Amino acid sequence: MVSSRSDKIFNAIIYAVLVIVAIAAVFPLLYVISMSLTPYSEVVKNGGFIVLPRKISFEAYERIFADPALGRSMLVTVIVTVCGTLINMLFTTLAAYPLSRRNLPGRTFFLLYIVFTMLFNGGLIPNYLVVQSLGMLNTLWALIIPGAIATFNVLILKSFFETLPEELFESARIDGAKEFRILWQVAIPLSLPSMMTVGLFYMVGHWNSFFSAVLYITNTDLNPLQVVIRNMLLLTQSSELQAEITVPTAAMQMAAVIAGSLPIIAVYPFIQKHFTKGMLLGAVKG
């Protein structure tokens, strides 16, 4: 089929827009990486703006990782991310599966009750008082339990469970399977794309957790990665220390940003296929 002139012009415009969008998305990442690897002499020579460094220095990373607080905070963040995501997935699945069954007594009431929490919440001070009354202040549980279930993720899994053929569940029941066995051996294996999608949402949320730690954690040994990186950035901006720093402040800041972002970025390519498929399938029914 021969394309008309108008089709070629339209395609050219689309490709041009996509190229511009791609550059706009990649350029900030390239700038951050370049600045983190740029020696101080190059920064001064180029007026503080580097896109592609001519010389590479890892001194900023050496200074960042030399701080024992970074390794400790990384361990705290990994523990919170792994344990938190497992707890999130457990409770979210146990909430979404019953809501996907149309014969559940009071299903409409429970759905409205859950959706209501997306529109209204108790507020910051009541949440803090609840965490305090449960004795979770200055514990890692304060970073996990308050967000154990996200309503949006429950609705995603619920919508996906509803797309599964009802005949599979009926066949399992005829064979004598109970609901928990049906969930574990039928629903979950068929829902891996959607499960991976929801799991990624939770994982990224825990990895980037900052405000909860500032609110509930005062013990510096329990600070997660994002809080420690913020403290490092503030430290590099201190006028009292800049005279002693041979590594440019911008390089230290960008190295800290890369240190906080790289682990979660490295995980994404392994679940990208499931993430994309899960988003599409989970949006089929509402």
> 185-203: string of b/e by CB count within 10 Å (b at 16+)?
ebbbebbebbbbbbbbbbb
Tokens 């457990």 belong to which residue?
90
- Quick one: 112 exposed, middle or buried, by C-beta within 10 A (0-12, 13-18, 19+)? exposed
Return per-residue pLDDT of the chain as tens, 286 residues.
556 778 788 888 999 999 999 888 888 888 888 877 777 666 666 666 677 777 777 777 877 777 788 888 889 999 999 999 999 999 999 999 999 888 888 888 998 888 888 888 778 888 899 999 999 999 999 999 988 898 889 988 898 888 888 888 888 888 888 888 888 888 888 888 888 888 888 998 898 888 889 999 988 888 898 888 888 777 765 544 444 445 556 677 778 778 777 777 777 777 666 655 555 554 444 4
pTM given for the model: 0.77
Q: Say which DSSP state 176 is in.
A: T
Can you say how many angstroms the Cα of residue 148 is from the centroid of all Cα atoms in its chain?
Answer: 14
pLDDT in the model for residue 237: 59
> Which domains does the chain possess?
60-282 (1.10.3720.10)
pLDDT in the model for residue 85: 93
Q: DSSP string covering 85-149, please?
A: HHHHHHHHHHHHHHHH-TT-TTHHHHHHHHHHHHH----HHHHHHHHHHTT-TTSGGGGTGGGS-
Give the alpha-carbon dihedral of 5, 6, 10, 13, to 10 degrees. Answer: 70
Identity (one letter) of the amino acid at 55? K
